[in-house]
């Protein structure tokens, strides 16, 4: 079922069956600040060779990853999220007191409850604003942006902080070579501001989707209501990430391409009009195959997976902040974003910078 929040401006008929879409018209929303935080400690492929039966050659060839970051002992998810959020607020030229909402995309928060966003709010010093988590794994940041955009367009909110953060090293089984080599820790954030839409810059559209029939392909089996924490759950490492890699790989290529093409079609554009693709950094081969299906030249794909691995919901805002810091995004450029993760949940966003 499709929910459109702009009934006066419906999308092309053939996107109606593809999940939840929203087109931004005036008023709209625009990214006015970005930030990132990466823990200092680097875990290289050579380090992993000493931990599990793997090789730098295998990891590099199959994923493109060379190293990833790992949080320091005692460092928690909300510390990383708050650091990225603080930077985004500074870049936006606002303070926590100006925020109307904090949305955190994460599946690795400080505690099962309450939301990681509540600790982020505490650490940033924001008060009495809704602050909540989105559990959409690697798609959490795009889900957060889509929700924030809708609130901003609805009126009543001026600034929303959207954060993607994961501390995955604490929920990985470092005896399972099929998962532990893939992921890294980190946080990225953006401040989305309400705009009058007059200059045409901002979020042009978001598309978000879930296919629950694939929920078992990537999950943490234990620790929830189905398999509550017990000695057995811990002994069998059921409280860590389990994944059927090839199923996720195929779903990622298929759905990331479809969501990206839906964004293009929705905005009446083709791949040649995209200046940058800032896609979730899951696997270099996945991105390469998506590139072929979306028809955007490969040199327009931003790649930093070699440095950080798969940081799940954090990967897109980390990439955005790196591009902003390098002054690589020019006003008016079109930025296509897409992400997919456990759920399976995925989505895309198209931004006129
Ligand atoms: N080192 C060495 N060998 C390994 C490793 C490793 N780290 N991991 C698996 N292998 C072995 C397997 O055991 C298998 O050996 P076998 O043939 O003797 O049985 C062989 O390598 C091939 O395994 P495959 O699973 O077929 O390898 P594949 O090419 O599919 O790559 C990978 C595996 C990288 C996990 C891939 O499936 C993938 O990237 N999937 C997407 C997963 C993903 O990105 N998940 C993140 C969350 S969702 C998202 O972000 C999109």
Whether residue 183 is predicted with pLDDT greater than 60 in this model: the reply is yes
Catalytic annotation on 280? yes
User: Measured at the alpha carbon of residue 345, what is the angle toward residues 297 and 159, in degrees to the nearest 5?
Assistant: 85
Structure token digits, residue 282: 């899951």
DSSP-assigned letter for residue 17: T
Q: What is the pLDDT of residues 26-46, one digit of tens each?
A: 489 999 999 999 999 999 999
What spacing in Å lies between the alpha carbon of 45 and ligand 1's midpoint? 15
Structure token digits, residue 137: 């794994």
Task: Give the DSSP H or E segment for 252.
Answer: helix 245-266
H helix runs in 25-176, sequence order: 45-49, 56-63, 77-92, 116-124, 140-154
Provide the pLDDT for residue 7.
34
Catalytic annotation on 310? yes
Model confidence at 284, pLDDT cuts 50, 70, 90, reads very high
Measured between alpha carbons, how far is 37 from 186 in angstroms, rounded to an integer? 6
Cβ-proximal residues to 261 (8 Å cutoff; 6+ apart), any chain: 293, 294
SS3 130: coil
Among candidate residues 250, 144, 314, the one with its CA nearest the CA of residue 258: 250
Structure token digits, residue 89: 């607020």
Average confidence (pLDDT) over 53-72: 97
Provide the pLDDT for residue 24.
52
Domains and CATH numbers, the chain: 16-353 (3.40.47.10)
Residue whose CA is at the smallest distance from ligand 1 atom 7: 177
Task: List ligand 1's pocket residues with C-beta within 6 A.
Answer: 54, 58-59, 62-63, 138, 177-178, 181-182, 218, 243, 245-246, 248-249, 252, 280, 282-283, 310, 340-341
Average confidence (pLDDT) over 1-29: 47
Provide the pLDDT for residue 6.
40
Q: What is the pLDDT of residues 114-161, one digit of tens each?
A: 999 999 999 999 999 999 999 999 999 999 999 999 999 998 899 999
């Amino acid at each position: 079922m499709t929910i459109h929040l702009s009934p006066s401006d419906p999308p092309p008929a053939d996107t109606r069956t593809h999940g939840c879409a929203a087109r931004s018209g005036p008023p709209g929303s625009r990214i006015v600040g970005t930030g990132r935080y990466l823990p200092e400690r680097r875990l290289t492929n050579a380090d992993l060779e000493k931990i599990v039966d793997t090789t730098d050659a295998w990891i590099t060839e199959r994923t493109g990853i060379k190293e990833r970051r790992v949080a320091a002992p005692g460092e928690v998810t909300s510390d990383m999220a708050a650091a990225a959020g603080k930077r985004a607020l500074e870049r936006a030229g606002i303070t926590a007191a100006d925020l109307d909402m904090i949305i955190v995309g994460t599946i690795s928060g400080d505690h099962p409850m309450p939301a990681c966003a509540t600790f982020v709010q505490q650490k940033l010093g924001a008060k009495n604003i809704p602050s909540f988590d989105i559990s959409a794994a690697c798609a959490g940041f795009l889900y957060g942006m889509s929700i924030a955009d809708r609130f901003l367009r609805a009126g009543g909110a001026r600034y929303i902080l959207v954060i993607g953060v994961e501390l995955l090293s604490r929920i990985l089984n470092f005896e399972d070579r099929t998962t532990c080599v893939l992921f890294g820790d980190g946080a990225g954030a953006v401040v989305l501001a309400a705009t009058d839409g007059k200059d045409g810059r901002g979020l042009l559209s978001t598309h978000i989707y879930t296919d629950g029939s694939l929920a078992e392909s990537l999950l943490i089996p234990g620790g929830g209501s189905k398999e509550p924490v017990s000695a057995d759950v811990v002994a069998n490492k059921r409280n860590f990430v389990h994944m059927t890699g090839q199923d996720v790989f195929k779903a990622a290529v298929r759905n990331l391409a479809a969501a990206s093409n839906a964004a293009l079609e929705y905005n009446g554009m083709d791949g040649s009009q995209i200046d940058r693709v800032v896609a979730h950094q899951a696997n270099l081969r996945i991105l390469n195959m998506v590139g072929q299906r979306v028809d955007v030249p490969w040199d327009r794909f931003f790649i930093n997976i070699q440095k950080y691995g798969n940081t799940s919901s954090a990967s897109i805002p980390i990439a955005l902040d790196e591009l902003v810091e390098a002054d690589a995004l020019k006003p008016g450029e079109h930025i296509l974003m897409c992400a997919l993760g456990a759920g399976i949940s995925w989505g895309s966003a198209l931004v006129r910078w």
